[in-house]
Chain A
Amino acid sequence: DTGVSQDPRHKITKRGQNVTFRCDPISEHNRLYWYRQTLGQGPEFLTYFQNEAQLEKSRLLSDRFSAERPKGSFSTLEIQRTEQGDSAMYLCASSWGRGHYEQYFGPGTRLTVT
């Protein structure tokens, strides 16, 4: 399968714990995006990378959130000191090129903070 993959698919954690999610983009794609989606809403942009460089971060991405894309391949999104409001679907997408090329999404990681 050459699509975008995300791991884990589901994560349940207690408030205050740290969690890390992984995204593996389509292999030839140089751009990688993270979005957050809550139930009944459209996704909200969090951040994106071109190769290994993080080019933009949303104001939604508080200092508890950090994302990396070492070597321009897979990416990780870490949430420190999780809060109940962090419960959401975290979606990763990738695309190729410098323009409005199609963003292809992974299946998402469903985070539940208890």
Chain B
Amino acid sequence: QQQVKQSPQSLIVQKGGISIINCAYENTAFDYFPWYQQFPGKGPALLIAIRPDVSEKKEGRFTISFNKSAKQFSLHIMDSQPGDSATYFCAASMDSNYQLIWGAGTKLIIKP
């Protein structure tokens, strides 16, 4: 119940295209869902986060879509650029302890 399942494991997208990464969770006590971007040898950097009281949140080229009934959420990167090539992690946490439970990551490659 503590797991967050992320797919796909890897993704190749042409420059200018839309990158879509999906996550699913089981524990309905989760109430905070962030996405992180990580470059090799660096720590994760927070991109965008959502709470379950909204279905979508957009920040620049990054959008989170959230489906509470399906217990799924996804990250959309519009107009994907080579600089977006990185590993992306979804995560979830709950009000009781705030520890992040992470997905396994998606390695995104944007082809020029």
Write out the residue numbers on chain A whose beta carbons fall within 8 Å of the beta carbon of B26: none
Q: Total contacts A to B, CB within 8 angstroms?
A: 63
Of the candidates A91, A99, A103, which one forms a contact with B95 in the assembled complex, judged by CB atoms under 8 Å apart?
Answer: A99
Number of interface residues of B (CB under 8 A): 26
For the complex of A and B, the 9 pairs showing the least CB-CB separation, nearest first, are A42-B102, A105-B43, A100-B32, A45-B99, A105-B44, A107-B43, A108-B43, A42-B89, A102-B46
Write out the residue numbers on chain B whose beta carbons fall within 8 Å of the beta carbon of A85: none
Write out the residue numbers on chain A whose beta carbons fall within 8 Å of the beta carbon of B46: 102-105
Q: How many of chain A's residues touch chain B, expressed as a range?
A: 20 to 34
Which residues of A are interface residues toward B (Cβ below 8 A)? Answer: 4, 31, 33, 35, 40-45, 48, 55-56, 58, 91, 93, 95, 99-100, 102-108, 110
Minimum Cβ distance to chain B for residue A46 (Å): 9
Q: List 23 A-B contacts (CB under 8 A).
A: A31-B98, A33-B99, A41-B105, A42-B102, A42-B103, A43-B100, A43-B102, A44-B102, A45-B100, A55-B97, A91-B43, A91-B44, A93-B43, A99-B98, A100-B31, A100-B32, A102-B34, A102-B49, A103-B34, A103-B46, A105-B36, A105-B43, A105-B44
